[in-house]
Amino acid sequence: MAYDPDNVFARILRGEIPSTRVFEDDEFIAIRDVAPAAPTHILLLPRHEGTTGPADLDAADADWVGRMVILATRIAREQGLDDGYRLVMNCGPHGGQSVPHLHLHLLGGRTLGAFAEPAGIP
Ligand code: DGP
């Protein structure tokens, strides 16, 4: 899928749409999800445009994706998620991805339920 430079996260990164930022450096920003699915729900976004979702990744992306995951664990510590948390990357329509700019969800603050419905599995 071609990258849409007007997707909502690209616009947030350009400052065209407000967001609550909990972290930023020259490579990533982390914002609070506008529709939180848990008491703590933070999204980590790479600043660079062009990566629509996980399916776009290849070996050349391994370093920055690794840094993003490690950053998520650091933010989780800073947010006090000492009892655990979940890191999620949705991909495409079946994965429930709604914004076509790769992002990592950090969810915590309560015991989380099953991450996919068992119904429908043959
Ligand atoms: P996904 O479904 O994996 O593509 O996750 C997209 C998330 O982005 C979803 O949990 C809702 C959130 N979201 C959508 N629009 C906005 C927005 O304008 N601001 C913020 N902070 N979050 C948004």
Per residue in 47-75, pLDDT (tens digit) is 999 999 999 999 999 999 999 999 999 99
Reported pTM: 0.95
Q: How much distance in Å is there from the Cα of 9 to the middle of ligand 1? A: 8
Q: Which residues are marked as active site? A: 103
Q: Would you say the CB of residue 97 lies under 6 angstroms from ligand 1?
A: yes
- For 1-122, list the strands marked E by DSSP: 21-24, 28-32, 40-46, 85-88, 104-108
Give which of 49, 9, 45, 50 is closest to 25, Cα–Cα.
45
If pLDDT is split at 50, 70 and 90, which confidence band does 120 have?
low
96 C-beta closer than 6 A to ligand 1: yes
Q: How many CB atoms lie within 10 A of CB 118?
A: 6
In which order are the strands placed within the sheet that holds 21-24? Answer: 21-24, 28-32, 40-46, 104-108, 85-88
Any ligand 1 atom below 6 A from CB of 16 = no
Across the range 85-89, mean pLDDT stands at 98
Per-residue pLDDT tens digits for 13-57: 999 999 999 999 999 999 999 999 999 999 999 999 999 999 999
* Per-residue confidence (pLDDT) for residue 16, from 0 to 100: 98
